[in-house]
Chain A
Amino acid sequence: QLQLQESGPGLVKPSETLSLTCSVSGGSIISTSAYWGWIRQPPGKGLEWIGNIYYSGNTYYNSALKTRVTIAVDTSKNQFSLRLRSVTAADMAVYYCARLSGIYDISPGYNIGMDVWGQGTTVTVSS
């Protein structure tokens, strides 16, 4: 079945760029029924949606993060990625990638829910 796996550095210095990759296995990232997303969870806190990307490259971002975030897709590698610039201690969190299932070959599209998640990767911000 479909599996997602996050990878990337677990330690990032303040003011630098956090870069994570999510590898999709057991299915294709090219799908008209999926957006691919990033969600984070600071220690002891709730979930925060970061953004989503469609296989075509269409993106949506969290309003509070959009000036610092870029999500990209690489269909040849069946991966999508997250870049978060100018990180601070407030960006320390467990970062999850997930599939947002829905119906996207009609207009308007229709979201269902995030039904497949990676295990999460912990990112620490420290010099």
Chain B
Amino acid sequence: DIQLIQSPSFLSASVGDRVTITCRASQGISSDLAWYQQKPGKAPKLLIYDAVTLQSGVPSRFSGSGSGTQFTLTVSSLRPEDFATYYCQQVNSYPLTFGGGTKVEIK
């Protein structure tokens, strides 16, 4: 199975900060990576797919990059509604796997 390691697992930041989350795959997955945002008590929401493509309706302050084994999710300027937990997921091959998550909290 392909393992996904996210870092950091916890991040404390302020409104307006630029934030970067990393996801590393245990083997190459091309660009077959998705990012999700989850708020407490809610279902995850797809933010980015194909590593770099913004899902419809997602603000442009979110961006993704990477391919192969190293990927990043960046929020250019944190807004209050962005404080949440973020997960990466590889969709390259079965079984599909998620990273462990990164919780972004208010400093």
- A-side residues, CB < 8 A to B, are 37, 39, 46-49, 52, 60-63, 96, 98, 100, 102, 111-115, 117-120
Q: Quick one: closest B residue to A59, CB to CB?
A: B94
Interface size on B, residues (CB 8 A): 25
> Which of chain A's residues have a CB closer than 8 A to the CB of B91?
100, 102, 111-113
In the complex, the answer to whether A49 meets B97 with C-beta atoms within 8 Å is yes
Instruction: Select one of A39, A60, A63, A115 contacting B46, CB under 8 A.
Output: A115
B63 at interface (Cβ–Cβ under 8 A)? no
Q: How far is the CB of B10 from chain A (nearest CB, A)?
A: 13
Pair B1/A117 contact, Cβ less than 8 Å? no
Q: Which residues of B contact A114 (CB under 8 A)?
A: 34, 36, 44, 46, 89
Q: Which residues of B contact A (CB under 8 A)?
A: 1, 32, 34, 36, 38, 42-46, 49-50, 55, 87, 89, 91-92, 94-101
B residues in contact with A111, CB < 8 Å:
32, 91-92, 96
Would you give the shortest CB distance from A116 to chain B, in whole angstroms?
Answer: 8
Q: List 12 A-B contacts (CB under 8 A).
A: A46-B100, A60-B94, A61-B95, A98-B43, A102-B91, A111-B32, A111-B92, A111-B96, A113-B34, A113-B89, A114-B34, A115-B49
Kindly identify which residue among A48, A100, A112, A118 contacts B50, using a CB–CB cutoff of 8 Å: A112
User: A46 vs B95: C-alpha distance in the bound complex, in angstroms?
Assistant: 16
Contact of A118 with B43 in the complex, beta carbons under 8 Å: yes
Residues of A within 8 A of B89 (CB): 47, 49, 113-114
Knowing that A52-B94, A112-B91, A114-B34 are A-B contacts, what are 12 other residue pairs whose CB atoms are under 8 Å apart, sorted by A's residue number? A46-B87, A46-B99, A47-B89, A60-B96, A100-B96, A111-B96, A112-B34, A112-B49, A113-B49, A113-B89, A117-B45, A119-B43
| Among candidates A47, A115, A118, residue contacting B87 with C-beta atoms closer than 8 Å | A47
Q: How far apart are the CA atoms of A115 and B47 in the complex, in Å?
A: 9
Q: Is the CB of B98 within 8 A of A117?
A: no
